[in-house]
Amino acid sequence: MMKYEHLLGIPFKHGVDDCYTLLQRFYADNFGVTLSEYARPSKWWDQGMDLYMANAYEEGFRGVDCHPSKWQPGDVFLIAVGARVACHAAINLGDGTILHHYTDRLSERITYGGIWRNMTLGVFRHKDVKPKAADMKQMDLMDLLPANKRGR
């Protein structure tokens, strides 16, 4: 069960209480993962900076290349809203909802769809956040052999 109720309803203040600080707090509270602090000037995405992608790997995030049904709570959606680069992050809570903190709004839990889904550039998972046992698929090694060699 993810803890996030205490992160709802926070007023937006760029660099202090924004989508990245929400991500930092969520990961610390739920996974014990500390994400670094980065100086981020106002509208950095319009100044030739790509802070999320420039720092994602170093912070432990890896791209997730799977069907949306395999996305896990805690996966991060990097979103380009009115920008050419990802300038917004949202956290998958499961059940089709995200936790995010968008400019001039209170932090909130909403349905993942519309502009948020349409402008998503990538889905990322932290290397230290392990998949749930229910998501682990067992493989029968016989399935790797050609049908005529399986001996069934």
Domains, in order of start, for the chain: 5-149 (3.90.1720.10)
Task: Report the pLDDT averaged over residues 18-43.
Answer: 96
Catalytic site residue 100? yes
Q: Greatest CA span in the chain, whole angstroms?
A: 64
Neighbours of 28 (CB within 10 A): 12
In sequence order, the β-bridge partners of residue 92 are 98
Please identify which of the residues 14, 66, 87, 88 carries the catalytic annotation.
Answer: 88
Q: Which of 19, 87, 101, 126 is catalytic?
A: 19
99-108: pLDDT as tens digits: 999 999 999 9
The band of 137, judged by pLDDT with boundaries at 50, 70 and 90, is very low
Task: Quote the CA–CA distance of 47 and 62 in Å, as a whole number.
Answer: 25
How far apart CA 105 and CA 83 sit, in angstroms, is 18
pLDDT digits (tens, 9 = 90+) for 34-62: 999 999 999 999 999 999 999 999 999 99
Q: What percent of the chain has pLDDT over 90?
A: 81
Catalytic residue among 66, 67, 100, 126: 100
**Could you please report the per-residue DSSP string of 131-151?**
PPGGGPPP--GGGGS-GGGS-
Provide the whole-model pTM.
0.84
- The overall average pLDDT reported for the chain is 89
